[in-house]
């Protein structure tokens, strides 16, 4: 090596070390990934619908609520606004990651140090489209959830941690579970198929979701956990009126969406720097439980809701549990708790596969454990410059 070359090398090395040490000095609270002891996930920021809502709708004017028995009948603190009898998939992922439960955004007590392990922005009945869920009253759309996250939650997080969110967000998982209501409570309910093909409607949903994921990435999100749609047509929905589509229409819609979702995530990974994701294939996980022998799965009832659900003609909506209504005895034998939402027992199956399964038909392309442990690229090699520490 020439003298000039070695001087330059020396300069580069000292620059690198200077930036490493200055970044770790102000990064104590921020860049958790850079602490030399592996990548501990600090928390979860959650977006989506009732499958992942943990109490936001308690604070909204909507008929889509789960703050009464028998919801929460097996949950340690009783009814909480979770749309199931026990823990939902988010709670179970928190358990796996050894994190505390995440508070709901709309709860006025969600502030201060309570947000350092994340915030849940999900809202029952909401969708990717702003008007999805309006049939039940107010729901917080995905657009509004992302806006609330940017304007309120991130500002609070920066104040709590004393650092820039672009440094801290890579240490959180961004979890997104949305889309089913855009079909069940919007496209099919409003008979939009008369005007818009399912392909175009789905393309529109995916384009809108893409914007939100890009926004979350631009704010600093790096590790995304995205849920596919469940087989919507298998859910019991009492006296399924044609208004929400036939079972096969709903399943076809879910498969189309899931297919486009996978393409989108692959494309974001190749376009955006340091974008990693797990796609949880809830469609496959639920279908497998539905078609496996009950002697193996333990689910002897794959068809009926565990709680009593009033149909439209009985004054209900065919989905929600009746307030203080009857509930099945063995809740681990039922796949569905109400007309739409799985039991806690099914949520355990989903969360376990999401976290641990090495089958790409369950968790694609890696599982949540691997995503959590994944070393983020701290250095990138720039042609003609060498190694550069990334932001």
Footprint on this chain of ligand NAG (rule: CB under 6 A): 29, 61, 130, 137-138, 141, 143-144, 147, 158, 162, 164, 166, 196-197, 200, 210, 264, 267-268, 271, 391
Q: How many residues does the chain have?
A: 391
Query: Minimum CB separation from ligand NAG for residue 352, in Å?
Result: 30
Pair 309, 318: CB distance under 8 Å: yes
Tokens of 216: 């979350």
Pair 197, 253: CB distance under 8 Å: no
Give the residue from 233, 139, 120 showing the smallest Cα distance to 180.
233
DSSP state of 361: T
Query: Minimum CB separation from ligand NAG for residue 28, in Å?
Result: 6
DSSP reduced 3-state for 206: helix
In angstroms, rounded to a whole number, what is the distance separating the alpha carbons of residues 154 and 370?
A: 26
Query: Minimum CB separation from ligand NAG for residue 363, in Å?
Result: 21
Of 58 and 343, the one with the shorter C-beta distance to ligand NAG is: 58
Residues marked active site are found at 50, 338, 341
In angstroms, rounded to a whole number, what is the distance separating the alpha carbons of residues 40 and 153?
A: 21
Query: Minimum CB separation from ligand NAG for residue 160, in Å?
Result: 7
Pair 82, 66: CB distance under 8 Å: yes
Of 96 and 143, the one with the shorter C-beta distance to ligand NAG is: 143
List all residues 6 or more positions away from 77 whose beta carbon is below 8 Å from its beta carbon: none
Pair 262, 279: CB distance under 8 Å: yes
Give the residue from 165, 48, 80, 51 showing the smallest Cα distance to 116.
165
DSSP reduced 3-state for 17: helix
Of 35 and 200, the one with the shorter C-beta distance to ligand NAG is: 200
Of 90 and 154, the one with the shorter C-beta distance to ligand NAG is: 154
Pair 49, 177: CB distance under 8 Å: yes
With vertex at residue 209, the alpha carbon angle to CA 85 and CA 40, rounded to the nearest 5 degrees, is 65
In angstroms, rounded to a whole number, what is the distance separating the alpha carbons of residues 243 and 193?
A: 12
Query: Minimum CB separation from ligand NAG for residue 143, in Å?
Result: 4
Of 13 and 196, the one with the shorter C-beta distance to ligand NAG is: 196
Q: How many CB atoms lie within 10 A of CB 288?
A: 15
**Which residue's CB atom is positioned nearest to ligand NAG?**
162
Of 206 and 309, the one with the shorter C-beta distance to ligand NAG is: 206
Of 197 and 373, the one with the shorter C-beta distance to ligand NAG is: 197
In angstroms, rounded to a whole number, what is the distance separating the alpha carbons of residues 156 and 116?
A: 9
């Amino acid at each position: 090596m020439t003298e000039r070359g070695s001087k330059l090398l020396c300069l580069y090395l000292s620059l690198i070390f200077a930036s490493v040490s200055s970044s770790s000095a102000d990064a104590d609270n921020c860049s958790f990934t850079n602490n030399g002891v592996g990548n501990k996930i600090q928390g979860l920021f959650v977006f989506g619908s009732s499958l992942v809502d943990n109490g936001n709708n308690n604070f909204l004017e909507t008929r889509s609520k789960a703050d009464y028995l028998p919801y929460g009948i097996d949950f340690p603190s009783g009814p909480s606004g979770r749309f199931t009898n026990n823990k939902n998939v988010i709670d179970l992922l928190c358990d796996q990651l050894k994190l505390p439960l995440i508070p709901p955004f709309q709860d006025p007590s969600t502030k201060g140090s309570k947000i350092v392990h994340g915030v849940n922005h999900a809202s029952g009945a909401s969708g990717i489209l702003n008007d999805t869920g309006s049939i039940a009253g107010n729901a917080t759309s995905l657009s509004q959830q992302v806006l609330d996250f940017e304007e309120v939650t991130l500002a609070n997080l920066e104040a709590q941690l004393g650092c820039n969110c672009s440094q801290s967000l890579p240490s959180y998982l961004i979890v997104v579970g949305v889309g089913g209501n855009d079909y069940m409570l919007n496209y099919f309910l409003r008979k939009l198929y008369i005007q818009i093909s399912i392909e175009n409607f789905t393309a529109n949903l995916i384009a809108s979701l893409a914007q939100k994921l890009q926004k979350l990435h631009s704010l600093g999100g790096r590790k995304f956990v995205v849920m596919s749609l469940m087989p919507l047509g298998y859910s019991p929905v009492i006296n399924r009126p044609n208004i929400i589509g036939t079972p096969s229409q709903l399943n076809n819609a879910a498969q189309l969406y899931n297919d486009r979702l996978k393409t989108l995530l692959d494309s974001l990974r190749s376009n955006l720097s340091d974008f990693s994701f797990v796609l949880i294939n809830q469609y496959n996980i639920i279908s497998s439980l539905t078609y496996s022998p009950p002697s193996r799965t333990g689910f002897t009832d794959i068809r009926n809701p565990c709680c009593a659900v009033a149909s439209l003609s009985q004054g209900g909506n065919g989905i929600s549990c009746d307030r203080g209504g009857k509930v099945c005895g063995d809740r681990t034998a039922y796949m569905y708790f109400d007309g739409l939402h799985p039991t806690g027992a099914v949520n355990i199956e989903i969360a376990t596969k999401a976290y641990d399964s090495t089958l790409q038909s369950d968790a694609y392309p890696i599982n949540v454990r691997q995503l959590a442990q994944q070393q983020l690229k701290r250095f990138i090699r720039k042609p003609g410059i060498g190694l550069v520490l990334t932001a």
